[in-house]
Chains A and B, each alone.
Chain A
């Protein structure tokens, strides 16, 4: 081996630009300086621009009167309410459509994903057609389709589509009967809570007994019967203290009942159907990721098919499914911001839209809106990471 002619004598320090640690330090200092300079530059510009346009800064505008109405509010709101209240109304509407969308997308997605793996050729093809159609068309287009091409072309209130004389669908929305609770009703939610507590206790006891003795107990069915049966029993015992406020056609419109506005229906349908096509693929890949040997080994132990699924396949598939499923839930909640295109009063529509236009306080409004979505994203991913850590494979 040859000796490198310019090899450094031992003990002499290298020049600082050849020292990795020092070079990293210098590079990072430069980066901090560059980012700081950039921030100073844009803040300075923003201040000069805001002054030139005469826009005041700060969050004081939140206590001013908004002066505009909102078609769907979950809390009390009138045009006399403040911008702070507007923010709350928008936030709640976003959470409502997000939560119901997640629920519907999960149900449709799992059904289609499992149908995609069905041994029935026709069913598998239909599921595949569903997935390939809906995931390759932009969500905004689907929202427009449901809103402008389907719900806007429904008949007027007079010729509404009636479902059993209690449900009515027309161009102004979906009219549902509203339950009115009478005095003795308090016992039913109480019975429901008791049933849930008893069911959890039963599950824990069953799990302990199973681990200790190997004996199984149909705890799931008993819990289901309790949760459904106990409130029902309460309902019968108290003589059904509920009356229904059924919507009725009076004049040109329906009175009474609950109205679901078409903007909500369109957004909810589009979000659920679109996201479900991605969830279906996640479910399929999760189930297919389980090696076939797992099924065969379980069958070799002569476990019945039902237990093979419940104890071997599904728990392992969930490990693969949950992380991408989390991203889909987050996408759904973020995509609900497309509400602004059809006028569903979500956070972006009433706050980053109307409020921003009225007050001109772009920086504060956009920052608050973004902060809400960032918080939701971080909370959901924290929860799902926790859940994921619980089910993740523990290796040696």
Chain B
């Protein structure tokens, strides 16, 4: 028998398994096909990034007030600068924008409070956000009370209008969606078929026809003495459309709750509404938060369609600014700016939903 009496001395890991070179060999150049892909990828990156950086940063003009300050060699961000307040507030009178700012600030604080897990009193903040805040925001934005000058809704626009449409559409759609989802799973055949028809109808047509319907047909359906504001008409259309999508998301959540939960609650003698309100819905909603956030993201992007019925949301106001004769030919800058704003909002929402998904993962998975 052979025994090795000596200890083999410790050695560093072979140099071809650690370090940046080894990483590159494993992840970028592991074979001929991989190498070709890497080279093509690098070339594409070069083609995309170099001109973009040149255009957006190196050759760009940042300071100035009119188009004469633009060298036209790269992007002219002067245009965005000159129009910035319009892009944010629309045609809101410039003396009154402090009112919009207060609403923005309040909104940001409430969202942050609800989104950051460590802060206490979520329930009360949520109740405040759904009751006191909308009324305050309306009084501030619309005016007409407390000596605030009135600002009619057709002067609202820009990012302010985009956020307003998205938030009101979402908050309005959630309760209607819950009712529809419960109705779709109900044992009562007439209730169930009403809900199925309602959901399938709104999901089957494009939002743009819904908006056309809201702007053209809604006035026909109401008595001639009632006139509904154009913004309110768009909001009704968006809310109905979105509630159908919401109902399907919530239905998915309801289906994922084990039947035993409902049966156990029934065995304790709870009524239908108590079972739903205290046992089933809280679990389903928690499970569906990622789905609800996804619906919110698509709603946020869909608000751009209101420009087709003549409301000036962020995209609408950018589009209007592009046809200003003093600033012709700056469409690229305008679209890049609008895309950037929408991207920031949507991307952070999707990241938040992924974070929630990870955080809530332990709740329903063993």
List residues of chain A with CB under 8 Å of any chain B CB.
Answer: 24, 27-28, 31-32, 35, 42, 45-46, 48-50, 52, 118-123, 126, 132-133, 135-141, 144-145, 148-149, 152-153, 334-335, 337-338, 340-341, 348, 352, 356, 362-363, 366, 369-370, 373-374, 377-378
Contacts and interface: CB of A to CB of B under 8 A. Distances in A.
B18 interface: no
B38 interface: yes
B115 interface: no
A132 B339 CA distance: 12
Given A27-B191, A136-B343, A378-B204, A45 B222 contact: yes
Contact of B315 (A24, A138, A152): A138
Contact of B217 (A35, A139, A362): A362
B216 interface: yes
Interface of B: 27-28, 30, 34, 37-38, 41-42, 44-45, 187-191, 194, 200-201, 203-209, 212-213, 216-217, 219-224, 297, 301-302, 304-305, 307-308, 315, 319, 322, 331-332, 335, 338-339, 342-343, 346-347, 350
B43 to A, nearest CB: 11
Contacts of B206: 334-335, 337, 348, 373
Given A27-B188, A149-B335, A140 B304 contact: yes
A363 B216 CA distance: 9
A136 B346 contact: yes
B220 A366 contact: no
Given A145-B335, A377-B203, A370 B41 contact: no
A335 B206 CA distance: 7
A224 B41 CA distance: 31
A369 B209 contact: yes
Contact of A136 (B194, B222, B223, B347): B347
Given A52-B224, A122-B42, A374 B217 contact: no
Contact of B331 (A24, A42, A149, A362): A149
B304 A373 contact: no
Given A31-B191, A126-B41, A141 B304 contact: yes
Given A121-B27, A138-B304, A141-B304, A28 B190 contact: yes
B188 A337 contact: no
Contacts of A363: 217, 220
24 contacts: A28-B188, A28-B190, A45-B222, A45-B223, A46-B220, A48-B224, A49-B224, A50-B220, A119-B27, A122-B45, A140-B304, A140-B307, A141-B335, A141-B339, A149-B331, A334-B205, A337-B206, A341-B308, A362-B216, A362-B217, A363-B220, A366-B213, A369-B209, A373-B209
